[in-house]
Amino acid sequence: TNPLIDLSRKTNGTQDRAEFAKHVADGLSQHPKKLSSRYFYDAKGSKLFQQIMDLPEYYLTRAEYSLMQRHRSAMVRAFAAGGFFHLVDLGAGDALKTKLLLQELERQQKPFDYVPMDISGSAMQELSKDLQQAHPDLHVQAVVAEYITGLQWLEQHLTERKVVLFLGSNIGNFEREEGLEFISQIRRHLQPGDLFLLGVDLTKDPDIILAAYNDASGVTAAFNLNLLERINRELGGNFDLDDFKHFALYDPQLGVMKSFLVSQCEQEVYLEANQARYSFAAWEAIHTESSHKYTLPQATEMGRSAGFELVTSYLDEKGGFADMLFKA
């Protein structure tokens, strides 16, 4: 296991803060108001997301985990058919699902190394340490970077065939066009013969989807509201969290889950970082997240339009989640 490669600009905290302040200023000055789900994942938000993954209503993580258990032997054979490869894990996090693949790769004695990438330095630190214990013979090179920086790095530094994982339905947070553009960028950083495994949450009973983002215990509400807490903490905001509520809805025609923070009264909020006030009408909402669901044909078409060819789709037993294997 090598030391981390840190390509994040975390060292320059003031620039990060300025960027966040500008994002909030723009988003709260617009009508309708919006903030990006990118900013959910500070230390507290990352903890809350871990709790979300354990919720009875949040089926996504369990579905993809059981899909992996079900199909990992076939996946590993498909990955390793061309000999040695770099296994690149975009947004690896705690790599809970990827670990199933790592075990299987070692069981089948396939030659590969592992390159987890994530924007969270602490997550990559912990994962490296953890893998050193569990897989002492595995060569691990963790990279701390945003997606695009990470992709540029891998194109310049990894010389062998690549298998890129983008799991967990993280693609869902992109608008459909942006999602296609992102997959196209991945394709442009790969060579013919490289592989790409895309995790997608499929359209299903709208009640099941809605419940996953509107859980009874209120963890998702806390996760959403943490965005305002983060603004208070990092930008000197004075949001009163009791004056806002989490609201979630699913549009079964567009296949999109949307989350909002709704102002329950007319109010003004002050931000020290911008020395500015933002006003809310009673019941005015901030759009904070979209989670897009795909049909298999839609996701196949997105891969094709990005320049990939579908090899196969691995489904969980309920048919609600897919890991789709594409070839560059």
Query: Contact between 214 and ligand AVJ (CB under 6 A)?
Result: no
Q: Which residue is nearest to ligand AVJ (CB)?
A: 291
* Least distance from ligand AVJ to the Cβ atom of residue 203, Å: 14
Nearer CB in complex with ligand AVJ: 193/218? 218
Closest separation in Å from C-beta 9 to ligand AVJ:
22
Binding flag, residue 20, ligand AVJ (CB under 6 A):
no
Residue 143 CB, nearest approach to ligand AVJ (Å)? 19
Which candidate, 257, 247, 201, 206, places its Cα nearest to that of 224? Answer: 247
Looking at the Cβ atoms of 223 and 250, the one nearer to ligand AVJ is 223
Q: Which of 187, 291, 308, 316 is the binder for ligand AVJ (CB under 6 A)? A: 291
> Which residues share a beta bridge with 117?
90, 143
Considering beta carbons, is residue 13 or 218 the nearer one to ligand AVJ? 218
Distance of closest approach, residue 101 Cβ to ligand AVJ, in angstroms:
19
Near ligand AVJ by CB under 6 A: residue from 89, 118, 284, 289: 289
Instruction: Give whichever of 220 and 263 is closer to ligand AVJ, judged by the CB atom.
Output: 220
Task: Kindly tell me which of 172 and 303 has the beta carbon lying closer to ligand AVJ.
Answer: 172
Q: Does 226 participate in binding ligand AVJ (rule CB under 6 A)?
A: no
Q: Which is nearer to ligand AVJ, 173 or 264 (CB)?
A: 173
> Residue by residue, what is the 3-state secondary structure of the chain?
CCCCEECCCCCCHHHHHHHHHHHHHHHHHCCCEECCHHHHCCHHHHHHHHHHHHCCCCHHHHHHHHHHHHHHHHHHHHHHCCCCEEEEEECCCCCHHHHHHHHHHHHCCCCEEEEEEECCHHHHHHHHHHHHHHCCCCCECCEECCHHHHHHHHHHHCCCCEEEEECCCHHHHCCHHHHHHHHHHHHHCCCCCCEEEEEEEECCCHHHHHHHCCCCCCHHHHHHHHHHHHHHHHHCECCCHHHEEEEEEEECCCCEEEEEEEECCCEEEEECCCCEEEEECCCCEEEEEEEECECHHHHHHHHHHCCCEEEEEEECCCCCEEEEEEEC
Burial (Cβ within 10 Å: 0-12, 13-18, ≥19) of residue 288? buried
The 147-186 contact track toward ligand AVJ, x by CB under 6 A, reads ---------------------xxx-xx-------------
- Total interface residues for ligand AVJ by CB under 6 A: 12
* Among the listed residues 318, 310, 316, the one whose alpha carbon sits nearest the alpha carbon of residue 69: 316
According to DSSP, the β-strands at 244-251 and 276-280 are unpaired
Pick the closer one to ligand AVJ by CB: 153 or 174.
Answer: 174
Nearer to ligand AVJ, 120 or 169 (CB): 169
Subset of 42-101 contacting ligand AVJ (CB under 6 A): 52, 60
From candidates 214, 220, 226, 288, binder to ligand AVJ by CB under 6 A: 220
Q: Nearer Cβ to ligand AVJ, position 8 or 290?
A: 290
Minimum distance from residue 121 beta carbon to ligand AVJ (Å): 18
Task: State the minimum distance, in angstroms, from the CB of residue 267 to ligand AVJ.
Answer: 25
Crossing angle, helix 13-29 and helix 219-235, to 10 degrees? 110
Residues that bind ligand AVJ (CB under 6 A): 52, 60, 168-170, 172-173, 213, 220, 223, 289, 291
